[in-house]
Structure 1
Amino acid sequence: MSEHESPELIDLFTAYTAGPQSIGAHLRAAAARAHAHDPLLVVTGADMALYPGGGRPPTVLPYRLSNRGFKELAAVSHLGTALASLVELYQHDPGGVWRADAEHLLRQVRRSRAANSTTLWRDRIAAVAHRGREEAIATMVDYACAVTERHLVRALADPSWLSHRTLREEYLEDGHPDLPVSFNRIMVATFFLVGMDNAHRLIAWCDRQGIDWARTMVVVVGQIGRPTAGVTWRTNGVAGTVLAASRHTLPLDRLYIAPHAPGFATPVDGDLTEVAALEPVLRQLWAGTRVTVELGRAMFDGYPAFSPGDDRPGHPGAARTVSRADEVITEQPRIRSPKDWFTLVTRLRLVMEDPRQLLSGAVTDYAAQQLIDHGNDPLAVTVPGLDDEPYPAYGSVSAAA
Structure 2
Amino acid sequence: MSDHESPELVDLFTAYTAGPDSIGAHLRACAARGRSRDPLLVVTGADMALYPGDGTPPTVLPYRMTNRGFKELAAVSHLGTALSSLAELYHREPDGVWRQDAELLLRRTRRARAANSAALWRDRIDAAALRGREESVAAMVDYACAITERYLLRALAEPARYFNHQTLRDTYLDDGHPETPVSFNRIMVATFFLVGLDTSYRLITWLDERGIDWARAMVVVVGQIGRPTAGVTWRTNSVAGMVLAASRGKLPLSHLYIAPHAAGFATPVDGDLREVRAVEEQLRQLWAGTRVTVELGGAMFDGYPAFDPGDETTGRPHPVTGPGTSALVTEQPVIRAVDDWLSLVTRLRLVMEDPRQLLSGAVTDYAAQQLIAHDNNPSAVTVPGLDNEPYPAFGTASAAA
State the TM-score, normalized to the length of structure 1: 0.76
How far apart are the structure 2 equivalents of 1:216 and 1:259?
20
1:312: how far off? 4.8
How do 1:86-235 and structure 2 match up within 5 A? 86-161=86-161, 162-235=163-236
1:303: how far off? 2.4
Q: Is the 8 A contact 2:109 2:145 kept in 1?
A: yes
After superposition, the C-alpha distances for 1:205-246 in whole angstroms (9 at most, x for unaligned) are: 001111000000001111111111110111111101111111
Match of 2:380 in 1: none
Match of 1:12 in 2: 12
Match of 1:60 in 2: 60
1:8: how far off? 2.5
How far apart are the structure 2 equivalents of 1:254 and 1:308?
13
1:250: how far off? 0.3
Match of 2:33 in 1: 33
2:265 counterpart SS class: coil
2:215 counterpart SS class: helix
How far apart are the structure 2 equivalents of 1:104 and 1:68?
25
Change (3 A) 1:230 1:271: same
How far apart are the structure 1 equivalents of 2:317 and 2:112?
49
How far apart are the structure 2 equivalents of 1:245 and 1:48?
13
How far apart are the structure 1 equivalents of 2:306 and 2:255?
16
1:283 counterpart SS class: helix
Q: Does 1:69 align with 2:88?
A: no
Q: Is the 8 A contact 2:45 2:225 kept in 1?
A: yes
How far apart are the structure 2 equivalents of 1:312 and 1:253?
11
Q: Is the 8 A contact 2:310 2:316 kept in 1?
A: no
How do 1:229-268 and structure 2 match up within 5 A? 229-268=230-269
Of the two, which has the highest radius of gyration?
Answer: 1
Q: Is the 8 A contact 1:223 1:259 kept in 2?
A: yes
1:309: how far off? 6.0
How far apart are the structure 1 equivalents of 2:301 and 2:177?
59
Change (3 A) 1:314 1:156: closer
Q: Is the 8 A contact 1:297 1:305 kept in 2?
A: yes
1:178: how far off? 1.2
Q: Is the 8 A contact 1:44 1:263 kept in 2?
A: yes
1:299: how far off? 1.6
Q: Is the 8 A contact 2:220 2:259 kept in 1?
A: yes
Letter of the 1:39 counterpart: P
How do 1:287-306 and structure 2 match up within 5 A? 287-306=288-307
How far apart are the structure 1 equivalents of 2:89 and 2:14?
53
Match of 2:282 in 1: 281
How far apart are the structure 2 equivalents of 1:204 and 1:19?
41
1:3: how far off? 2.4
How far apart are the structure 1 equivalents of 2:277 and 2:30?
20
How do 1:388-399 and structure 2 match up within 5 A? none
Letter of the 1:144 counterpart: A
2:251 counterpart SS class: coil
Match of 1:392 in 2: none
Letter of the 2:148 counterpart: T
How far apart are the structure 2 equivalents of 1:313 and 1:287?
25
Deviates more, 1:71-80 or 1:293-302: 293-302
Q: Is the 8 A contact 1:224 1:230 kept in 2?
A: yes
After superposition, the C-alpha distances for 1:4-24 in whole angstroms (9 at most, x for unaligned) are: 333232222211111111111
Bigger relative contact order, structure 1 or 2 (CA pairs below 8 A, ≥6 apart): 2
Unpaired runs of 5+ in structure 2? 319-401
Match of 2:78 in 1: 78
Number of residue pairs aligned between Structure 1 and Structure 2: 314
After superposition, the C-alpha distances for 1:281-339 in whole angstroms (9 at most, x for unaligned) are: 00000000001110111122222222446355599xxxxxxxxxxxxxxxxxxxxxxxx
Provide the aligned C-alpha RMSD in A.
1.4
How far apart are the structure 2 equivalents of 1:126 and 1:196?
14
Q: Is the 8 A contact 1:252 1:309 kept in 2?
A: no
Letter of the 1:263 counterpart: G
How far apart are the structure 1 equivalents of 2:141 and 2:310?
38
Letter of the 1:166 counterpart: T
Q: Is the 8 A contact 1:252 1:308 kept in 2?
A: no
Unpaired runs of 5+ in structure 1? 316-401
How far apart are the structure 1 equivalents of 2:298 and 2:109?
57
Moved over 4 A (4+): 311-315
How far apart are the structure 1 equivalents of 2:24 and 2:293?
10
How far apart are the structure 1 equivalents of 2:77 and 2:204?
24
Deviates more, 1:224-233 or 1:7-16: 7-16
How far apart are the structure 1 equivalents of 2:189 and 2:138?
16
Change (3 A) 1:51 1:154: same
Deviates more, 1:172-181 or 1:249-258: 172-181
How far apart are the structure 2 equivalents of 1:86 and 1:17?
53
How far apart are the structure 2 equivalents of 1:216 and 1:308?
20
1:194 counterpart SS class: helix
